[in-house]
Amino acid sequence: ETGVTQSPTHLIKTRGQQVTLRCSSQSGHNTVSWYQQALGQGPQFIFQYYREEENGRGNFPPRFSGLQFPNYSSELNVNALELDDSALYLCASSLTSGSWNEQFFGPGTRLTVL
Amino acid sequence: DAKTTQPPSMDCAEGRAANLPCNHSTISGNEYVYWYRQIHSQGPQYIIHGLKNNETNEMASLIITEDRKSSTLILPHATLRDTAVYYCIVRVSQGAQKLVFGQGTRLTINP
């Protein structure tokens, strides 16, 4: 158990719909990163939020967006869902303090797009 | 971040040492080697990291060659619960904290 929670656990949507995934970071952590993991692949970095600001983004289109709240929890929003968006979405929290700190991953949200 | 190469799969008998290799021939002087693992249906879990010296913690040992172009993660007494996908990642220590995962090695511990 890492103390990072994600909701919902599973989700089924249809193509064209919008989805919001949620992540509660570990106590004391100020940074949240989101990753997409397609079946059989390693996780791919989507973006990172530090103190409510986006702090780095991977190769994902603008329809992937996020938020970080004052309590450092975070949301991942995906608009105009496509079939290829079906994946496990992972969030990871960490404490940014100048040098690298371990990222603690949540259990993920399994999104299926039909 | 430098690219890493790992075997797609390995098997190991329970109770034996599991040695997982990783090649990172383009590693830069300021890049560290990190290992994570992902047990089925869970998020990745940090194991260990190092720069050039060998490292050991309660989970594993990390052996980095002198030229730093390859490394080996050692699980000294593998158990069935060590069955997972193991990822070797090379990155700088500071700056953006994104992790670049490859395909990893699927390690199966057999009874």
pLDDT in tens, A15-39: 999 999 999 998 888 899 999 999 9
In chain A, count H helices and then E strands: 0, 11
| Res B43: pLDDT | 93
Please give the Cα distance from A14 to A83 (Å, whole number): 8
Q: Does B29 touch chain A (CB under 8 A)?
A: no
Interface test with A, best of B99, B103, B106 (most A CBs within 10 A): B99
Give yes or no for residue A100 having a pLDDT over 90.
no
| Tokens 């249809």, located at residue | A14
pLDDT in tens, A59-78: 999 999 999 999 899 999 99
Please give the Cα distance from A9 to A34 (Å, whole number): 15
Question: Which regions of chain B are under pLDDT 50?
Answer: none
DSSP code string of A32-85: EEEEEE-TTS--EEEEEEETTEEEEE-S--TTEEEEE-TTS-EEEEE-S--GGG
* Residues of B in Cβ contact (< 8 Å) with A56: 96-98
The DSSP symbol for A93 reads E
